[in-house]
């Protein structure tokens, strides 16, 4: 997880390049609103438990606030604050008309029953229903939350404000959600990877890809890249990974994992490797798609990939980023690489507002276009200003938010 300090480093670097005034920097670094609420619920046992919920609404100068809702025991205001600002820059990089927000409740989902999680979710909506909605702030799933919970949010919000499917995204496809939302982050990772390869003048077929994390993002990225004839030489999950120089059969791995509780353990499709070995394996593109902070000053020198695509949020620590920069390893930053999810959330919101359904093909087409354009803009800025793709992406995002803030007027 990226700390506020690391994010501020990237923000300041972009702000220096953009010549932003100290007063504009302070405005952009401060959240518009931070809310903390108590969420008391009756447990199945009859006992009372009070959870703490947060919503940080960072910046809405470019449109309604947008960001996930996380259920995790380590959720606190500091983490939610950092993730909210990350959303502001991410929505601006892909140029969708949203600001940035994030929410969370400090709890361990595995320790609560489904009914208890439903009570927490509905009570949280009771506490903040006046602060979010289709035109103000639109939550979505994040770590520990899922599509069913988004359905509960929509339903509970509707009790106060009437039928409003656009008040939340990431809903089940058969309950005002859209096809293509679930695959969108992984697909987006695949799209920007192919764009990068062509910009670097490298051939796509046969490109060796290693992916850490075989969950939602990792599996969809693997499938997309294998379909494009890349060679997926390594994959892993929390239990370890597999390596095969000639390329792994991604569909076979998916079938195996599906029949094995989502896990790769015991699969004989390649040589067994550890997660540390995966990060240092012989490949062209390394895609960390599991956790934050996995590439550090300690293991960065061992990385052999020529390109890193940040599918997870903040997998590269700032010290590792500097090492990769020095070694000429190209890093596509998270605020561009994993923006496919929020982009598809925008499509869901647009369709909910129109009471109309596009269908999967159009969702994919629009995603390809938006991420392709965003990649091109970041690439151009990086080339013309001679800065890394990360600095260029932050410059694009921060610059757009600063301009919208100035245009909107601050007096």
Give the footprint of ligand NAD on this chain (CB under 6 A).
143, 185, 212-218, 236-238, 275, 289-291, 311-313, 338, 341
CB of 189 to ligand NAD, least distance (A): 9
Q: HSE, CB side, 13 Å, CA atoms: give it for residue 329.
A: 26
Give the integer Cα–Cα distance in Å for 143 and 165: 22
Tokens representing 259?
């029949």
Residue 290: other Cβ atoms inside 10 A: 21
Give the integer Cα–Cα distance in Å for 109 and 229: 38
Q: Which is nearer to ligand NAD, 122 or 347 (CB)?
A: 347
CB of 242 to ligand NAD, least distance (A): 12
Query: 102 CB contacts (<8 Å, ≥6 apart)?
Result: 55, 56, 58, 67, 68, 69, 70, 80, 81, 83, 84, 86, 87, 142
CB of 36 to ligand NAD, least distance (A): 22
CB of 34 to ligand NAD, least distance (A): 21
Query: 161 CB contacts (<8 Å, ≥6 apart)?
Result: 129, 133, 167
102 tagged catalytic:
yes
CB of 185 to ligand NAD, least distance (A): 4
Tokens representing 35?
């809310």
Helix/strand/coil (H, E, C) string of 333-346? Answer: CHHHHCCHHHHHHH
Q: Considering only CA atoms, which of 161, 181, 125 is closest in space to residue 351?
A: 181
Straight-line distance from the first to the last Cα atom of the chain, in angstroms, rounded to the nearest whole number: 35
CB of 140 to ligand NAD, least distance (A): 8
Give the integer Cα–Cα distance in Å for 385 and 245: 38
Q: Whose structure tokens read 């499938």?
A: 223
The catalytically annotated residue of 102, 171, 195, 223 is 102
Contact 217, 249 (CB under 8 A): no
Q: Considering only CA atoms, which of 314, 342, 405, 331 is closest in space to residue 95?
A: 342
Q: HSE, CB side, 13 Å, CA atoms: give it for residue 127.
A: 21
Contact 115, 148 (CB under 8 A): no
Give the integer Cα–Cα distance in Å for 322 and 166: 41
Contact 177, 170 (CB under 8 A): yes
Residue 126: other Cβ atoms inside 10 A: 14
CB of 48 to ligand NAD, least distance (A): 31
CB of 29 to ligand NAD, least distance (A): 22
Q: Considering only CA atoms, which of 80, 62, 85 is closest in space to residue 11?
A: 85
Residues with a known catalytic role: 102
């Amino acid at each position: 997880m990226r700390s506020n300090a690391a994010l501020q480093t990237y923000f300041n670097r972009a702000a220096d390049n953009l010549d932003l005034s100290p007063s504009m920097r302070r405005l952009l670094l401060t959240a518009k609103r931070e809310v903390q609420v108590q969420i008391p619920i009756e447990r199945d046992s009859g006992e009372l438990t009070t959870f703490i919920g947060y919503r940080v609404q960072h910046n809405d100068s470019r449109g309604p606030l947008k960001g996930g809702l996380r259920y995790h025991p380590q959720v606190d205001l500091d983490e939610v604050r950092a993730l909210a600002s990350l959303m502001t820059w991410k929505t601006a990089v892909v140029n969708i008309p949203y600001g940035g927000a994030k929410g969370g409740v400090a709890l361990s989902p595995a320790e609560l029953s489904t009914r208890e999680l439903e009570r927490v979710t509905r009570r949280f909506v009771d506490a903040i229903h006046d602060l979010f909605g289709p035109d103000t702030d639109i939550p979505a799933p994040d770590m520990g939350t899922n599509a069913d919970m988004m359905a509960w949010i929509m339903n509970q919000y509707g009790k106060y404000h009437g039928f409003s499917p656009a008040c939340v995204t990431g809903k089940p496809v058969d309950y005002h959600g859209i096809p293509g939302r679930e695959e969108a982050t992984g697909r987006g990772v695949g799209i920007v990877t192919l764009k990068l390869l062509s910009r670097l003048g490298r051939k796509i077929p046969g490109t060796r890809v290693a992916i850490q994390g075989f969950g939602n993002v990792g599996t969809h990225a693997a499938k997309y890249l294998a379909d494009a004839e890349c060679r997926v030489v390594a994959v892993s999950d929390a239990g370890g990974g597999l390596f095969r120089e000639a390329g792994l059969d991604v569909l076979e791995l998916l079938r195996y994992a599906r029949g094995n509780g989502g896990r790769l353990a015991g699969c004989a499709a390649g040589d067994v490797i550890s997660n540390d070995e995966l990060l240092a394996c012989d490949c062209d593109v390394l895609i960390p798609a599991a956790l934050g902070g996995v590439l550090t000053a300690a293991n960065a020198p061992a990385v052999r990939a020529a390109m890193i695509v940040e599918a997870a949020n903040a997998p590269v620590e700032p010290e590792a980023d500097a090492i990769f920069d020095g070694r000429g390893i190209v890093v596509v930053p998270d605020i561009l690489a994993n923006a496919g999810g929020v982009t598809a959330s925008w499509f869901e919101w647009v369709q909910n507002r129109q009471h109309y359904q596009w269908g999967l093909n159009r969702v994919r087409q629009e995603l390809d276009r938006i991420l392709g354009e965003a990649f091109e803009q970041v690439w151009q800025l990086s080339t013309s200003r001679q800065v890394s793709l990360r600095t260029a992406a932050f410059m694009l995002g921060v610059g757009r938010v600063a301009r919208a803030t100035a245009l909107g007027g601050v007096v």
